[in-house]
C-alpha cells in the first residue's frame, strides 16, 4: 500500500510521522519528495547510498545555423530565451524543458543538452529502503526530481511518501500514485486553515484520506479537530504534545525504535490507516 503523508502547513510533523510509520511497518519503503528540504534521511541514516543525477533538457543554439528570426523567443512563454548581441541567450532556470523551441525553429538550429537539477539518493536502513530527492540550491522547480522518485516506488509493499508542504503542483505530483493520504495537522488556526486547502486537493484527486492531529494539547482548543468534526473527516490518529517526542525528533531520532509507548501509539495509527484504506 502506498501512503502519502502531507500537511498543507509546514512543520506539522510530516517527516516525524512518516519515518515512525515506516519503522513500525518495516519492511517498508520511505520516499522523501520534499526535495527542497529533505529531512527523512537525517532520521533513517541510510547506508550503501547510491546517488544518481536528475537531468532536464535545455536548449542550445548553433550560431552557424541561427539566422536571428527569434521565432523561438516569441514562442517561449517561460521567458527562458532572449536574442541579444546577435546570439540566442538561454536562461536555464526559467526553462521548463518543453522542447518547443527546438520543434518550431525554422533553421533547425536548436539542440538540447542535459543539465543537472538535483539528485536521487537510494539507500537502506535495516528493513527500510530509502529514496531521497534533493534539489540543487538555486533551482526553482523540483518536479523532475519528484518524477524520478515516483519511478522508484515499487508496486507492492508498504510505501510511505513524505510530501512537500503546501498544495501546489509538487504536492500533486507526490500524491499521484498514493492509495491513501495521511494529513498531519497541528492545533492552531494556521494548521486548520492549511488543512482545509490540502483536504480540497486530495478530494479533487479522489484519494481516500484521514487526519492525524499532532501536538494535541489536551484540554486546549484544537482548531484542526474542530475542522475535522465539522466536515466529517476521519481522525485516524492523535499524537499528544510530548516534550520527549519533541526532543527525540529534534535530534532526528526515531521515537518508535527507542520507546515502547511511542511504538504502541504509531502501531495503532498504522492499523487505523490500513483499516481506513480498505
Cβ distance to other proteins smaller for residue 247 or 275: 247
Among 197, 187, 276, CA closest to 231: 197
Q: What is the C-alpha to C-alpha distance for residues 211 and 180, in angstroms, rounded to an integer?
A: 11
Cβ atoms of residues 135 and 35 within 8 Å: yes
Part of the chain binding other proteins (CB under 8 A), chosen from 83-91, 153-161, 170-178, 259-267? 170-178
Q: Least separation, in Å, of the C-beta of 220 and other proteins?
A: 7
Torsion of CA 170, 223, 183, 193, to 10 degrees: -20
Q: Is 69 in the site for other proteins (CB under 8 A)?
A: no
- List C-alpha distances in Å: 262 to 210, 248, 254: 20, 11, 9
For residues 165 and 167, give the distance between their C-alpha atoms in angstroms, rounded to a whole number.
7
Q: Closer CB to other proteins, residue 189 or residue 229? A: 189
Asked if 164 is part of the footprint of other proteins (rule: CB under 8 A), the reply reads yes
Among 26, 58, 82, 252, binds other proteins (CB under 8 A): 252
Contact string (CB under 8 A) for other proteins, positions 206-245, x = contact = -----------x--xx-x-------------------x--
Any contact of residue 49 with other proteins (CB under 8 A)? no
By CB under 8 A, residue 153 contacts other proteins = no
- Told to check if 36 binds other proteins by CB under 8 A, we report yes
The kind and range of the H/E element at 71 are helix 71-75
| Of the residues 142, 210, 211, 256, which one makes contact with other proteins according to CB under 8 A | 142
166 belongs to the binding site for other proteins (CB under 8 A): yes
Minimum CB separation of residue 138 from other proteins in Å reads: 7
Site string for other proteins, 75-114 (x = CB under 8 A): x-xx-----------------xxxxx--xx----------
Q: How far apart are CA 136 and CA 19, in angstroms?
A: 23
* Of the candidates 23, 41, 21, 44, the residue with the CA atom closest to the CA atom of residue 32: 41
Q: Contacts with other proteins: how many residues (CB under 8 A)? A: 61
Q: Which is nearer to other proteins, 71 or 275 (CB)?
A: 71
CA distance 213 to 236: 8
- Residue 183 CB partners (closer than 8 Å, separation 6+): 6, 7, 8, 195, 198, 199, 202, 209, 210, 211, 212
Sheet-wide strand order for 28-32: 47-61, 110-125, 128-135, 28-32, 158-162, 2-6, 180-185, 209-216, 235-240
Smallest separation (angstroms) from other proteins to the CB of 100: 4
Smallest gap, in angstroms, from Cβ of residue 252 to other proteins?
4
Backbone angles phi, psi at 168, to 5 degrees: -90, -170
In the complex, the residues that contact other proteins under the rule CB under 8 A are 7-12, 15, 36-37, 39, 42, 75, 77-78, 96-100, 103-104, 135, 137-143, 164-172, 186-190, 193-194, 197-198, 200-201, 204, 217, 220-221, 223, 243, 246-247, 249-252
Amino acid at each position: 500500500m502506498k501512503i502519502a503523508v502531507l500537511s498543507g502547513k509546514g512543520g506539522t510533523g510530516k517527516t516525524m510521522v512518516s519515518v515512525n510509520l515506516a519503522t513500525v511497518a518495516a519492511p517498508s519503503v520511505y520516499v522523501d519528495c520534499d526535495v527542497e528540504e529533505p529531512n527523512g534521511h537525517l532520521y533513517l541514516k541510510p547506508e550503501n547510498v547510491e546517488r544518481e543525477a536528475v537531468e532536464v533538457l535545455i536548449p542550445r543554439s548553433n550560431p552557424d545555423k541561427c539566422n536571428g528570426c527569434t521565432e523561438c523567443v516569441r514562442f517561449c512563454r517561460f521567458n527562458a530565451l532572449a536574442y541579444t548581441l546577435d546570439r540566442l541567450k538561454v536562461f536555464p532556470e526559467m526553462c521548463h524543458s518543453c522542447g518547443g523551441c527546438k520543434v518550431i525553429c525554422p533553421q533547425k538550429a536548436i539542440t538540447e543538452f542535459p543539465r543537472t537539477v538535483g539528485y536521487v539518493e537510494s539507500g537502506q536502513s535495516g528493513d527500510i529502503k530509502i529514496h531521497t530527492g534533493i534539489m540543487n540550491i538555486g533551482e526553482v522547480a523540483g518536479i523532475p526530481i519528484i518524477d524520478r522518485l515516483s519511478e522508484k516506488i515499487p508496486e507492492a509493499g508498504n510505501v510511505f511518501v513524505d510530501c512537500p508542504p503546501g498544495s501546489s503542483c509538487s504536492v500533486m505530483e507526490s500524491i499521484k500514485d498514493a492509495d491513501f493520504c495521511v494529513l498531519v495537522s497541528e492545533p492552531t488556526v494556521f494548521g486548520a486553515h492549511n488543512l482545509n486547502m490540502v483536504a480540497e486537493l486530495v478530494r479533487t484527486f479522489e484519494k481516500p484520506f484521514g487526519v492525524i492531529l499532532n501536538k494535541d494539547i489536551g484540554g486546549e482548543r484544537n482548531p484542526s479537530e474542530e475542522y475535522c468534526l465539522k466536515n466529517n473527516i476521519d481522525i485516524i490518529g492523535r499524537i499528544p504534545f510530548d516534550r520527549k517526542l519533541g526532543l527525540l525528533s529534534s535530534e532526528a531520532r526515531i521515537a518508535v525504535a527507542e520507546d515502547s509507548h511511542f511504538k504502541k501509539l504509531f502501531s495503532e495509527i498504522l492499523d487505523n490507516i490500513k483499516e481506513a484504506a480498505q
